[in-house]
Amino acid sequence: MAIDEAALQVVIDKEAIRELVLLYSRAIDRQDIELLRDLYAEDATDTHGDSFDGTAEDYCQFIAHAFPHMPYSGHHVCNHLIAIDGDEASGEVYALAWHLIPARDGTREEDFMAVRYIDNYRRCPDGKWRFSKRVVTYDFKLRRPFDGGGLLGQGPDDPSYRTCLQPLFARGART
């Protein structure tokens, strides 16, 4: 049986894009701003519903300023549909996002959202797929008081850095 090289390349590209989306979740949830920066093309834009609309670099700065106020963030990727067209691609990612944020009265609130990331991707000159445009829709939002607990610190002391030693799990930009 002959291998269809073009079909094989589409599978390889889709897997690289799926990894890109998962790394976005990891960058936000582990508060790794250098990894987050590495996931966007130089001229990329990001529109996060009503909270941010601008360049990817400005989005990274916006998120970096939010990290100290967000002791927990968990992004859970669900469905991910991808269409490849050479070095360009588009995708729609369904995800559930939980954030622990400060409430106005000094307590904490759970911020839960069902989101869709509507993405454009580009294979960059270094061969890596990156976001060229990201548009986030909030299909459902819920905010309520938080009285739970758990491992709420997800920065550089997260246990994944000591347990998963392959370069994919290291802090900072992809190697």
Q: Which residues pair with 137 in a beta bridge?
A: 116
State yes or no: pLDDT of 116 exceeds 90: yes
* Separation between Cα atoms, residue 149 and residue 52, nearest integer Å: 29
3-state SS, 106-165, equals: CCEEEEEEEEEEEEEEEECCCCCEEEEEEEEEEEEEEEEECCCCCCCCCCCCCCHHHHCC
101 found inside a domain: yes
Q: Assess if residue 97 is contained within a domain.
A: yes
| CATH for 142 | 3.10.450.50
Indicate whether 174 belongs to any domain: no
What percent of the chain shows pLDDT beyond 90? Answer: 84
Report whether 45 contacts 55 (CB < 8 A): yes
Average pLDDT over residues 51-58: 97
Number of folded domains that form the chain? 1
Residue with more model confidence, 1 or 93? 93
Average pLDDT of span 4-9:
94
Indicate whether 151 pLDDT > 90. Answer: no
pLDDT band at 152 (very low <50, low <70, confident <90, very high): low
Domain that holds residue 115: 5-169
- Is 175 a member of any domain? no
pLDDT at site 2: 74
CB of 70 within 8 A of CB of 99? yes
